[in-house]
Amino acid sequence: MSDFKLRMEIHSHTDYDPQDWIEHSAEELIDEVARQGIDILAITCHRALQWSPQLKSYAEAAGVLLIPAVEASIEGKDVLIYGLERFQHPMSFDQLRELRRQDPAVLTVAPHPFFPSNTCLGNKLFTHADCFDAIEYCHFYTRQVNFNAKAVEAARKLNLPLVGTSDIHFLTQVGKTTSTVQVSERSFAAVSAAIKAGRLELHTKPLSLGQLSLQVAQMLWMKFKGSHLGRRQASRTAVAS
C-alpha cells in the first residue's frame, strides 16, 4: 500500500477538562476539526482521558480519526501520552517508562517544554529523554517572542522529531499550527510509528499581534471564569481510571 499524508491536531482540550474552563464540547471540537479538513484529532484533557466508543464513532462519522490521549502531570510536569484507553493519575516517570515498555505503540510528546510555567518540563526533558518520542512546537508565539526556539534546539540535540500543535483551548485556535504525518494506513498504530520515525512535517506561522491579543484576552477570561464562577460539571461521556 502506498503512503499518504494526514493532517493532525494532537493537543486539545474540551469542557471535560478538570483544570481549565473550556467552552466547547468534544463534539463541537470534532465538528470544527472536520470543517477545516483535519484528519486526526487527539483530545488531551489535563489528567483526564476523554474517550468512549460513542465519541470515536462520532469522529469517524465526521471523517476524523480520534486518538485516545491525555495531558498527564508527571512529577508536576506536563506530558502528552497517546494510545491509552485507561489512565490512572498520578503517574511517575518510572511508571511511564514501564508503560512504554509494556506497550511500544504508546506515544509520548513533550508539550511546550520551555514555555515559562512550572508545569513545563524545561531541562527535565533531558533528564527523562528516554520517555519521549517527539517534542511539541506550540502555536502560541509571535515573530518577536518564540519560546519554541529552545524546543527546536532540544529536538536537534536529542534527535527527536518536532510535532506542531495548537494546544486548543478555544475553537478559534484550531488549525493554527499542525503537522502532517506520512502513513500507509489510517490508524493510531500507523500514526504513532510515523511520528516516532520522523515521517512528519510541521505547518506553522507566528501569530499576529492582533491574534496574540485576542488569545491573551480569551485566556484571562477563561482563568476568571474558572476561579470566580466555580467548577462546572461537564457532561462526561466516559471516565477511564
Interface with Fe ion by CB under 5 A: which residues?
71, 167
Nearer to Fe ion, 133 or 167 (CB): 167
In the complex, what is the shortest distance from the CB of residue 21 to Fe ion, in angstroms, rounded to a whole number?
13
In the complex, what is the shortest distance from the CB of residue 64 to Fe ion, in angstroms, rounded to a whole number?
19
Nearer to Fe ion, 119 or 182 (CB): 119
In the complex, what is the shortest distance from the CB of residue 116 to Fe ion, in angstroms, rounded to a whole number?
15
Nearer to Fe ion, 154 or 168 (CB): 168
Nearer to Fe ion, 15 or 71 (CB): 71
Query: What gap in Å lies between CA 154 and CA 161, rounded to an integer?
Result: 10
Say if CB 114 and CB 151 are below 8 A apart. Answer: yes
In the complex, what is the shortest distance from the CB of residue 100 to Fe ion, in angstroms, rounded to a whole number?
20
Nearer to Fe ion, 9 or 71 (CB): 71
Nearer to Fe ion, 71 or 133 (CB): 71
In the complex, what is the shortest distance from the CB of residue 67 to Fe ion, in angstroms, rounded to a whole number?
15
In the complex, what is the shortest distance from the CB of residue 117 to Fe ion, in angstroms, rounded to a whole number?
11
3-state per-residue secondary structure call for the chain: CCCEEEEEECCECCCCCCCCCCCCCHHHHHHHHHHCCCCEEEECCECCCCCCHHHHHHHHHCCCEEEEEEEEEECCEEEEEECCCCCCCCECHHHHHHHHHHCCCCEEEECCCCCCCCCCCCCHHHHCHHHCCEEEEECCCCCCCCCCHHHHHHHHHHCCCEEEECCECCHHHCCCCEEEEEECCCCHHHHHHHHHCCCEEEECCCCCHHHHHHHHHHHHHHHHHHHHCCCCCCCCCCCCC
